[in-house]
Structure 1
C-alpha cells in the first residue's frame, strides 16, 4: 500500500515533506506480510477450499483492536480458518490441542453470528443483504469465542470474495447431505469409526437393550420389541426399544408409536421410569377412549398392588417451554460474547443483574428440582413414573437422564455416561439437527436442550466431584463436539434419518457402499492420550467389589446448615445468588432486584422438602443416590465453558485448578511412596501399576482458573478497576452508595 520513496536529485537532500497517516502497528503488519507459499493449508479428506483472502489482520481484544497478527483467512466446506507464519503465534500454541479443529479454526456449524464494522459501527450481516463490504469482520461462535478480522489491507476483490463466501456457506439454508459429514465419510480412509462400540453401549441392537435390562433387573416386567424394525410403524422411534410385557406388537402398530410408554430405566426396588409422547390433538373421542383403556390395561400389568402405582408427569406443563429456554439462553450467551476489553469492564458492574434477567440459571434449577421430585417417587414412594411430552425427545431426555445420573452410579462413569447419552438422546430421537440449527433452516427450532442437560450435570460434578469418574473438562469438550461435523453422533434428528442417509451422493449405483460415520465417543480422533487424561478424575472412588461395605464420608451438621436447614422450623435459604445471612446494609447495596430475590419462596417444593432434608442429613454414599443443592448460591455459572476465552475473567493462581494442583502433589507423593515400598517388598507389587497421568497433569498445571483452555503465557492481563473510574468518581459517600442500584456495586467476584 505504501509506495517507494525515491531520492531527490541535487547536492543537498531536500527536507522530507511526507507525513504518514498509517499507525505504527499497521506498518509493522505490512512488513511481516506472509508469503503465500510458506503458509500451508491443512485440509481434511473431503475438505475443499472455497475462498480466501490475504493480508488479513486477526485483531486482539484490546480497546482499539488495532493490534494483531497478519495472515490469510480461508473458508472451506468445513471451517473458517486463519493461517499465519508469525513465530509468536507458534510459541503461544496451547498444550491442550484438538486434532481436528485448531485454535484459529471455526467449523461452519459453530459460527453463531457474522457482523461487519462500518465506520466503527457493528452491523449484522445476513445472506443476500450485503451491499457494502465492511472494513472488519466479527464472528461470534457458539462456543463463546469471538474473532475479529481487519480487512483494511486486503485487496477489494478478495474482500468481496471472502465476505460473500462466508455469509453464503455459513448462513444460507442447506440440505442435510450437503454437510461436511457426508463429504468426509465418503473420502476418509476406512478407519475403525465405531471402535468405541465395544465399550460404549450404542443401543442399536436387541442385545444391547437386553443387557441393559439385565443390568438394572428390569426384565421381569419389561421386554425388548422389534415391531418397528425397518421403521415400518414410526420414524421417530428406534428399531428396537423396551415396553411393558403386556404391550403387544399390534397395540404398538395401532397407535403408530404415539402414546406408548417407552421404558427408560428401573430402580432397585422395581419401579420404572418411562416416557411417552402425546397423541395428536385432532384425534376423535373414540380413539382417545381406546387409548385410555389401553393405558389402564398396561397399568394393571405394571402395578404390583398394594406397593406400586403409576403417575404421569406432564413436563410441558411443569417446566419452561422451548421458547422460554431459547430466550433465556440467547440472553445468557451475550454475557460472554465480548468484543473487546472495554465492553467487558463496562458490563462488569451490571453483570449479576444481566445474569439474573437471563433466567438461565433458574431454568437449570427447575430441571434439577423436577429430577429431585421424580427421584422421591422412585426411591421412597415405590411409584412408576411416566414422563409426558409432545414428542418425548426434549425435556423428557433432560429429566430422565438427570434422574439416572443421580440414582445410578454406573451413569457417573465415563462409559456409563456415554451409554446414557446414546440411549436417551441419540437412540431416543432428540432432534440435534433442528435444535442445534445445523442446516440454518429455522432459527425458531434452535433450542439448546442438550447444553441445558450438560449444564445440569456440571452442577452435580461441581458439588460431588469425587462421585464422578469424568471431569468438567470432559463435559466442556463434549459440548464443543456438538459443532464438529465429522461425527454422526450429534448430526441427525433420529436413527431413521441416519439410516436413510447412509449412502454417499444423490444418485446411487449397485456398487455403492454404506458410509461409515465416525462416533464422537472415539476420543482419539480429536485428542492424544495426554489430553484425554484430563477427562478422567484421579480422585474418583471406584466400587471395587459389590459385597464390600461402602465407606461413607460423614459431613458435619454445621456445614450442612450453611446450605440448607435441617428442620422446617429454621429459616430456610431463599432464591437468588446470595445467602440470607446478608445484613440490611448489604441488601440496600445490592439493589432492589437482588433484594426481591432474597425474599422469594423456598427452592424445594413442600411435597418433597422432607425427602430433600432427610437425604442431606445422612452420610454421603458415593455409589448411591446423590441430590444436588439447588439454593441460589449453589447454582453457578459453568465458568470453564463460558469464560475460558476471556482473559480478564481468569483467577490468577486461584480457582479449582489451584486446589487440584495441591491434591495432585499429594497423590504424586503417595505414588512415589508406593513405588519405594514395592522396591523393598516386591510381594506387595500390584498387578496394575498406577499410570503417569497424575504426574503429567501435575506438570501441565498453570496458575489459571480456566486451565486447560486458557494459559497465562498466551494472554496479557491488563489490570482494571473493579468499578470504572468514571463511575467511582460519581460515588460521593457511603450513605449515597447504599441507596444506589446494584449496577454500581462491587460484584466482580463470582
Structure 2
C-alpha cells in the first residue's frame, strides 16, 4: 500500500509494444493470436489485443477517510480494462476465483458509468466528448456493482488522455455486432469441444431435444414438434423447432409468421398446459383487421376440441409493468449499491429503506411472483390451460413461464434442469439479450434488465426454500455476472437466427467459409476450477429418493395439492379456445385494452387467495409444488449479489453462511460416525482432521457475503445515529473503544 500523499512515484515501466487508439472499425480483426500470450506482463486471451495503457496509476482504497492506494498500470484491451499492481502489492489469492475475470478486471460490457473528477467534483464522461484537461481521478461503476477509483495525478498527461479517451470510446461508443470480443475469441481460441457438463444441459437446438421434453412431461400424445422453421423460412424470431397442439395446422404458422398461435411451454397430465403467444401486428387498415379476425376465427375453430376447451388468456402487457418502468426502477435501485466510499454509505443509511421503497424494484419482483402464482392456480387448481400473451412473447412471457415451471416442476430446480429451462424459454424463446443488455451501446430505448429480474425472482425462491434447489445462491450470482462476459454466446444474441446467421466466417488464407463454434456459459469449467465449482452446488438440497422416482413410473400429484379444497368449477357455455365469445377475444388479440374481460369474473381473486393461503398452511414437500411468500417483508434484497463489494454491509460469522457451515459440520460429523459404526471390529483410529473439515471449521468467522467478499476488520462505524449514543457516553470513547473480551468459561 502506498500513500497518495507520499509523492513516491514508481519506476516507469517499459513502454508497451503495441499501443493503439483506434476506433473498433479500424482494428483489423484478422490480427489474432493462437494462444494466450503475455505482452508487457499483461496476460492476453486468444484474440485479445492491447489498445492503450498508463503507468503510475493508483487504485484508491474506498475505506472511510482513506487516502491510500496501490500503485500499478491501467490497461485497456478489446476485452477488458485491467489494473496491474506492482510486484508484491497483491494480496493472497481468493478461495473462489474466476479464471477469466480477476478481481481487478472489468470486461468492456460490464462498464456501467464513467466519471472524471475535477477539483473534487464528479463529471459524467460520455462518448465523443474530448477531455478539456487532465482529470484527477477516474471512477468506473460496474454492472456487477463494483466501484473502482483510480488516481491519475502521478501519470503523464499524454498517457492519461490516451487511457481515459480509450476507455470511454471502447466502452460507451456504439459498435457492430461482430466487433464484440465474442467473435475475436471464438475465431482465435482452440476448437471448442463440449464437455460432459455441457452435454447434460439440453440446449433445445435439435428436434430430438423437444421430443425428449414432450416425453418427460407426458405431452407427446397431445402436442407435436414443428420443423417448418428449420431454415428460418417462416420467422427469424422463432427457433428452428417448437411445439404446438396436434390439431394446429402448419399453414396457420405461415400466415402471420408465428404470431397469434399458442406455442407450448410445459404441461403435465395432472394439470393444465402453459402456452405463450405473440400478438398480431397492430393494423389500422380495415381490410387487414378483417383478415386478422378471419385468421383468429380459424385458429379458434381448430382448437375448439379437447383438451383445449378451457383456456384463459393472460395479457401480460396489461397486468405487468412496461419495459421502461423496469429500466427506471432498476436504475434507481442500483444506485443504492454503487457506493463511492464508506462515508457515502453511512450518509445514506438513515434514508436507505425509503430510497429502496422509492425505487419500486422489489415491488416489481413481487408482482411477477404474484402473477406466477395466479397462473399456477389456473393450472393446478382449476385444471385449465393458460396462454401468456405479449407483443413478442419474449420478455415477461419468459419470466412468468419460467417461474411457473420452477414452482411446479422439481426437475427445473436442479442445476441442469434450470439451465435447460433457460435454454428453452429464454435463448431459444427469442429473448433479445443483445438489446435488453445493450451490449452494443446503441439501443438505450430497448434496454431493460428483464433477465436479471427473473434471476431475482428465482433467488427469492432459493432464499425461502433452500432445501428445494440443487444449486446455490452463489450459482445465481455468478450466472448474473456471466451476462457481461463476452466469450460465451448464450447471452449475446437476440435470437437463434441472429446467432446462426453470424456464425459463418471467411478464412483469410484459404478463402473458404467455416462455422464458428461458440462457447456455452453452461460449461462452468471454463470459468472456474473444479474446487471452486463446489460453491455452485447447494449442500442442503433434499433430493427425491430413488424409490419415489420409480414408483408407478409416472409423475405423482403434488403432495400439497391433494389436500387443497378445490374451487367449484363454473358451469357455463363458454366453450372453445377463447372461453369467451369470439368477438371480444379477437378484439383483445388485436391490441384492444379490455382488462375487464381478461380478468373476467369476480371469483378469480378469491380463488387465488384461497389457493395461496391453504397451500401455506400445509407441510412443505420440497419435491412438489412450492409457492413463495409474497407479502412485503418476505421479498428481500439479494444481498450476496448487490452488497458483496460493500465491507460495511457484511456480518462477520453471520447470515446464511454461518447457518450453512454449521449444517455442513454436522453432516461431516454424522458421516464420520457412520463410518465408525460400519467398521466396529477395527480399533478406533485417532481422529485426523481432513482438509474439508478444516476448511469448514475455519469458516465460522467468515463474512456473510462469502465467497465473494472478505471481511474488513476496520468497518466499525455504528449503524445507528451517534446522537442516540451521546446520552450514554462520549462519542469518541465509543468509537475508539476496543471490543470487550469475555471469558465464556466464567459465565
- What TM-score range do you get, normalising by the shorter chain? 0.7 to 0.9
Separation in 1, partners of 2:11, 2:414: 50
Q: 1:146-165 alignment to 2 at 5 Å?
A: 146-165=147-166
Deviations 1:478-528 (A, max 9, x none): 000000000000000000000000023698975222111000000000001
Separation in 2, partners of 1:508, 1:396: 46
Q: Is the 8 A contact 2:223 2:244 kept in 1?
A: yes
Shift in Å, 1:270: 4.9
The equivalent residue for 1:721 is 718
Q: 1:403-482 alignment to 2 at 5 Å?
A: 403-482=404-483
Separation in 1, partners of 2:81, 2:727: 45
Number of corresponding residues: 646
SS in 1 for 2:669: helix
Separation in 2, partners of 1:58, 1:439: 28
* Further displaced range: 291-300 or 43-52: 291-300
SS in 1 for 2:645: coil
The equivalent residue for 1:297 is 301
Q: 1:608-627 alignment to 2 at 5 Å?
A: 608-627=608-627
The equivalent residue for 2:490 is 489
Would you say 1:76 and 2:77 are equivalent positions? yes
The 3 A distance-change label for structure 1 pair 159 and 270 is same
Q: Is the 8 A contact 1:476 1:641 kept in 2?
A: yes
The 3 A distance-change label for structure 1 pair 610 and 551 is closer
* Further displaced range: 81-90 or 154-163: 81-90
Would you say 1:708 and 2:687 are equivalent positions? no
Shift in Å, 1:664: 1.1
Would you say 1:286 and 2:287 are equivalent positions? no
The equivalent residue for 2:653 is 653
The 3 A distance-change label for structure 1 pair 704 and 156 is same
The equivalent residue for 1:189 is 190
Would you say 1:26 and 2:5 are equivalent positions? yes
The equivalent residue for 1:527 is 528
Shift in Å, 1:63: 3.7
The 3 A distance-change label for structure 1 pair 279 and 483 is same
Shift in Å, 1:255: 1.8
Shift in Å, 1:31: 5.1
Q: Is the 8 A contact 1:116 1:124 kept in 2?
A: yes
C-alpha RMSD of the superposition: 2.6
The equivalent residue for 2:176 is 175
Separation in 1, partners of 2:160, 2:511: 45
The 3 A distance-change label for structure 1 pair 341 and 32 is farther
The equivalent residue for 2:370 is 369
Q: Is the 8 A contact 1:702 1:711 kept in 2?
A: no
Deviations 1:185-218 (A, max 9, x none): 0000113146544200000001000000000001
The equivalent residue for 1:335 is 336
Deviations 1:205-264 (A, max 9, x none): 010000000000011211000001100010000000000111122111112111111100
The 3 A distance-change label for structure 1 pair 623 and 61 is same
> Structure 2 unaligned runs (5+)?
17-38, 561-603, 683-689, 729-747
The equivalent residue for 1:567 is none
Separation in 2, partners of 1:295, 1:445: 32
Q: Is the 8 A contact 1:96 1:531 kept in 2?
A: yes
Shift in Å, 1:24: 5.5
The equivalent residue for 1:354 is 355
Shift in Å, 1:696: 5.3
Shift in Å, 1:94: 1.4
Deviations 1:698-732 (A, max 9, x none): 655652100000112xx34331132454797799x
Deviations 1:332-384 (A, max 9, x none): 00000000111000001100000000000000000000000000010010100
Q: Is the 8 A contact 1:552 1:622 kept in 2?
A: no
* Further displaced range: 39-48 or 379-388: 39-48
The equivalent residue for 1:66 is 67
Separation in 2, partners of 1:28, 1:708: 36
SS in 1 for 2:44: coil
Shift in Å, 1:28: 6.4
Separation in 2, partners of 1:222, 1:692: 52
The 3 A distance-change label for structure 1 pair 295 and 497 is same
Separation in 2, partners of 1:398, 1:388: 12
SS in 2 for 1:722: coil
The equivalent residue for 1:632 is 632
Separation in 1, partners of 2:111, 2:696: 31
SS in 2 for 1:513: strand
Q: Is the 8 A contact 1:260 1:277 kept in 2?
A: yes
The equivalent residue for 1:345 is 346
Shift in Å, 1:692: 8.3
The equivalent residue for 1:50 is 51
The equivalent residue for 1:566 is none
Separation in 2, partners of 1:352, 1:361: 12
Deviations 1:529-577 (A, max 9, x none): 11110111112111123256999999xxxxxxxxxxxxxxxxxxxxxxx
Separation in 1, partners of 2:365, 2:49: 41
Shift in Å, 1:35: 7.2
Q: Is the 8 A contact 2:452 2:480 kept in 1?
A: yes
Q: 1:48-127 alignment to 2 at 5 Å?
A: 48-64=49-65, 66-91=67-92, 93-127=93-127
Q: 1:200-279 alignment to 2 at 5 Å?
A: 200-279=201-280
* Further displaced range: 280-289 or 378-387: 280-289
Separation in 1, partners of 2:647, 2:315: 43
Q: Is the 8 A contact 2:243 2:264 kept in 1?
A: yes
Separation in 1, partners of 2:559, 2:14: 62
Separation in 1, partners of 2:509, 2:373: 51
Separation in 2, partners of 1:474, 1:450: 15
Q: Is the 8 A contact 1:202 1:423 kept in 2?
A: yes
Q: 1:484-523 alignment to 2 at 5 Å?
A: 484-504=485-505, 511-523=512-524
The equivalent residue for 1:395 is 396
Separation in 2, partners of 1:247, 1:69: 65
Q: 1:526-605 alignment to 2 at 5 Å?
A: 526-543=527-544, 544-545=546-547, 546-547=549-550, 605=605
Q: Is the 8 A contact 1:648 1:717 kept in 2?
A: no
* Further displaced range: 544-553 or 718-727: 544-553
Separation in 1, partners of 2:3, 2:537: 48
Separation in 1, partners of 2:356, 2:99: 34
Q: Is the 8 A contact 2:558 2:624 kept in 1?
A: no
Separation in 2, partners of 1:372, 1:253: 34
The 3 A distance-change label for structure 1 pair 219 and 375 is same
The equivalent residue for 2:734 is none
Separation in 2, partners of 1:255, 1:506: 38
Shift in Å, 1:415: 0.3
TM-score when normalising by structure 2: 0.82
The 3 A distance-change label for structure 1 pair 720 and 700 is closer
Deviations 1:2-46 (A, max 9, x none): xxxxxxxxxxxxxxxxxxxxx954326525877779972111000
Q: Is the 8 A contact 2:248 2:303 kept in 1?
A: no
TM-score when normalising by structure 1: 0.82
Q: Is the 8 A contact 1:194 1:518 kept in 2?
A: no
The equivalent residue for 1:139 is 140
Q: Is the 8 A contact 1:530 1:696 kept in 2?
A: no
